[in-house]
Structure 1
């Protein structure tokens, strides 16, 4: 592997409050790995650019270009030098100093296009805790083309919040330029091309969200729109109902029955957003811009 055999790519925007633990972990990783840090910034007005440069990162500026989950990451990956690219968000916090080891080992296995690690929720709502436990459990797994057929609500094939990809696979299949779920779209493309993916639970970061009802609707509107464009949203009503039933049972056991009504309201809003997003292609563009969270043309 060359001196820049591994590249960490981080899209940033006003991330000064959350970046320091991640940058400290990356600095420590550079002491033992051939690692470069490439950030692509969307016009931060806080101390983000300075923190990145102090950590030795190369900072790319979008220069007023709208952020796109796939498009912006593709630009940063193209500018990076590593044959292995670690995708991160600015609000993940590594759990230990070995957080990258399992990912890097997995992504260099033959025929593996990418690997993603465990995301441990901290400060997340009960529904988001359930999603994290379902998607980021303690057992490693290999993900193959068969998993695309089993994909359903709440499922994850890969994660661009904390994952690593092989540049050779990215050259064949860049991240799709869609409003959200670019990681699921990329995963589907590489899996259908015959590659495999890996889930590596010993690679851990803290990462979670506590979304308001309004943000839950908007984010899931984007998710429904993106997954519909990828033809990954079929049968969502039946699968969604089964997902919610399992979730409410889990929340009742974990948090008590008093937490169930709030979770049911949250899931109703989330499902409404997702189903509306599935129909975005039939709606005027202004409606999508109003209801979604991610930028649109």
Structure 2
């Protein structure tokens, strides 16, 4: 086995990545420790001074947080499927080499990545369509993501052309080829882009702030903001303090993807690399 030569660049790179990792992990660790600490603390502690689960119990048993959490789950699942449907179908259209105007359509989509109507025109369009103050606006609007569509198109272009020709010879329709050949071969890309959509929907705050004024339709992130600001704090259970409840709510907000990501990491890395790199 050949030994890897240590260079100044490699050493500096490792140090920089360690520092970046610490910058990201230390705040999360503090929030995690404070979420179990029943004593209000304003400083960094390695372990809770008084360990307890009352903060999490206060979050999970509070009825005002259950509906926003459910809305976040519903919009994330529905939006992810909508985004994947639009991205995969749009990408499949763009790899139809014989389709007239294919390059014009591709350039038009790329143009929208640089220039768009802006916040106010988009709001006026959503209002005219009657989507404001409905969950449809926060599901459909982020689903149209040209960047993810381009990644999916690049992945589809890596599928051997012989497979499409074989399917056509066997009498398979274009949509049959899409469902029977393209999608089964695109599990890595679907997982990677699906995870991007899911994170975007779960962490969505801006669209709710812009298009929804009905508090009954707020997601967990909106309620989390109100909780952190102290205007909508759940009633404490047991010995939980205000600080404990706030930190517990933050951990609850990030926990789903902390659990999901390790299972998707392999597909996420391979999917993004294949879709983003063209030979």
Compute the TM-score of the two structures, normalised by the length of structure 1.
0.23
Which one has the bigger strand percentage?
A: 1
Compute the TM-score of the two structures, normalised by the length of structure 2.
0.24
Higher relative contact order (CA 8 A, sep 6+): 2
Larger Rg: 2
